[in-house]
Amino acid sequence: MLLAAVPAGATPVVLNGLQNQVVDGENFTFNFAGVLPSDGLGGVFTLHAQGDFDGAANEALTWDIDGIVNGGPVGGFVNATNGVGGPFDFVNLFQALGNIEFQRTYILSAAELNAILADSFVSIFVDLNSTVGLFDRPNFVEVSLAYNSEPVPEPATMGLLGLGLAGIGAIRRRRQAA
């Protein structure tokens, strides 16, 4: 996993968002401001959603991160038959009472992630092509973007504090010697 080995000084960053579906064919936007820059090693984007299978249409979803990387349609069932597959960790589960669960993990290259984080703002758009569920399971879209941030440099004030303490110690030694 990407976050398992964190380089010294690097900080794991996970941007998460979850929204429930309230209308058929709903679009979702997840905005994250003030995000930290990457350590340059890439990241992982996970998309998890659940929609209501209506029996006739192809259940699918599409997504886009800042217009830089996108995908879709992800998965889908047509009349309870597995639809479009794809690379990476693809899971598409036809559940009881007509619910369909989508989950997919994408590996983002260092170049893609750096382009996404360049303005310290991330916008993820997801179009869930699904009807609102009539059963007990809520329909939702959940996104997660995980990466390591670059090491944070030591603030200049810490260096100055160390220099000041060393100076005080030197003055005390001189006084004791005198």
**What does each C-alpha distance from 44 to 1, 12, 174 come to in angstroms?**
9, 12, 57
Asked if residue 29 is part of any domain, the answer here is yes
CATH of the domain at 43: 2.60.120
pLDDT of the chain along its 178 residues, tens only? 344 454 556 789 999 999 998 887 789 999 999 999 999 899 999 888 877 655 545 556 788 999 998 876 655 433 333 444 433 333 444 444 556 677 778 889 999 999 999 999 999 998 877 666 555 567 888 999 999 998 765 555 566 667 777 777 777 777 777 7
What the block records as the tokens of 44 is 């992982």
What the block records as the tokens of 75 is 């998965």
Residue 81 to residue 84: CA distance in whole angstroms? 10
pTM of the model: 0.69
Taking alpha carbons only, the member of 118, 154, 153 closest to residue 37 is 118
Asked if residue 16 is part of any domain, the answer here is yes
DSSP assignment of 8-24: TT--EEEEEEEEE--ST
What total number of domains does the chain contain? Answer: 1
